[in-house]
Structure 1
Amino acid sequence: MTSNFQRLPRPLKKAQQLASCRTVRIAVLGQGAVGKTETIYRHVFSVDGECVQFEVLDTAGQEEDTILIEEKIKWAEGFIIAYSVTDRCSFDEILRLRFLISHIHSGLKRHGDALPPVVIVANKKDLQYDRMVTTEEGSSIAQALKCPFFEISARDSYEETVAVFSLLYREVASSGALSAFRRKVSSKLMDKIPRIHSTATASLSMRSFSLSSVKDFLTD
């Protein structure tokens, strides 16, 4: 299922950050640029008129052991599985990552709680001459896994990236994944990861999928 990008969040004035916002934890999983310093980026904007603070943990491309990835999956309330249309190996990771999310959160699940939502995102659609995975292949695997699907260019269109996070928030809010039980899930490992608020100097030329790599939505 592909999505259009007509419903974008309204920018928030900086003073509005002081108001009470709903926080949602998002983990971006998948292969990507290796060697990054791991950070949780905080971004505040409005989704459907509601103030939302996204805490985005971009783990894509990091080599880590089973305990580390389990802690990060337990921490998150919603997931983006990202792959590059120019990298067949990153596409082949989708099924493994989807299984890990379901398996780990099934162990946390209480009666009546839904498993956290997952959105599948194909990045780098602007690199058509280097494409190795078709749009149809991405859409088909997303349909088989019953996940929303986007094909975007994080470098060229921040609107597309914001649309992904906005839809995922709606999925998280409607699924019950923001329960008190899930929100309390944490660990010493996750507490040590630095939290950084987005800045207006973020570069559009970066290939990271997290909102830190696109235009800032906070205005003076």
Structure 2
Amino acid sequence: MREEEVETAIKVVVVGNGAVGKSSMIQRYCKGIFTKDYKKTIGVDFLERQIEVNGEDVRLMLWDTAGQEEFDAITKAYYRGAQACVVAYSIVDRDSFEAVEEWKKKVNEEVGEIATVLVQNKIDLVDEAVVTAEEAEEQATRLNLKFYKTSVKDNTYVDDVFRFLAERYLAEVNSTTDEGTTQKIGSTSFFTTSNSTHTKRPDKKDTIVLHPSKRRTHGKKNLFSKCVIL
């Protein structure tokens, strides 16, 4: 009998103001295409891609959430169960830059501290930038987030964003498993060093432990036929 294959599935939510390039980012990453025509996401959209990380099959399930306030009640429900997050803003949209901390807070309120990166998109429009390099770096440092400058149009560093999230998440989980101890999750030390440990959230009494989702493929690696959010 053929041994069943098991792969890891990681739910990633992509958040940020409207028109910063969230939909274009996951389209570029999952389908390799780019369109400059902007269409507002209504609620949420979903795409997925399988990659290999250190010899392990990983399926990234990417949830593109609407950036408009009127969809907050809908999109918050889709944050639940997320194991990684991309907070995105546009280099030519000052409001989206200033909203970054609030987007991070919204996700953390639903799922606690998870692997998160900060993405400054549309760097191909650097001549029109309304955010300085110093401001961008200061914000990333203050929020303690790994920082990427991307151009979805030119496909600059898009793959790096999602590979980093997969590697970071698996490294944390594997470290917990190898040590046989429970690592706590907190906001103060997640991305400081490669061997950092988590601290407890001040508003929670119980320790939260992240474990990647596993699914049996029975030798097949087709896309999911459906996805259910619990």
Q: What TM-score does the superposition give when structure 1 sets the normalisation length?
A: 0.64
After superposition, where does 1:11-30 map in structure 2 within 5 Å? 19-30=5-16
1:44 matches 2:50: yes
Q: How many residues align?
A: 159
TM-score by length of 2: 0.61
Contact 2:41 2:66 survives alignment (8 Å): no
Query: 1:131 aligned to 2:129?
Result: yes
Amino acid at match of 1:24: I
2:74 maps to 68
Amino acid at match of 2:211: S
Q: Is the 8 A contact 2:91 2:131 kept in 1?
A: yes
1: distance between equivalents of 2:152 and 2:64? 14
Alignment partner, residue 140 of structure 1: 138
Change (3 A) 1:94 1:50: same
Percent identity between the two aligned chains: 26
Residues 1:152 and 2:128 aligned together:
no
Aligned to 2:87: 81
| Aligned match of 2:160 | 163
Contact 2:18/2:40, CA 8 A, preserved across alignment: no
1:35 maps to what in 2?
40
Deviation at 1:144, TM superposition (A): 0.6
Q: Could you give the per-residue CA deviations for residues 50-76 of structure 1, whole angstroms, max 9, x where no partner exists?
A: 211110011153444443232122131
In the alignment, is the contact (CA less than 8 A) between 1:28 and 1:60 conserved in 2? Answer: no
Q: 2:106 aligned to 100, 110, 117, which one? A: 100
- Give CA-to-partner distance per residue, 1:37-60, whole Å, 9 cap, x none: 532101011123321111001115
RMSD: 2.5
Gaps of 5+ in 2: 20-38, 174-208, 215-226
Q: 1:117 — aligned with what?
A: 115
Higher Cα Rg, which structure: 2
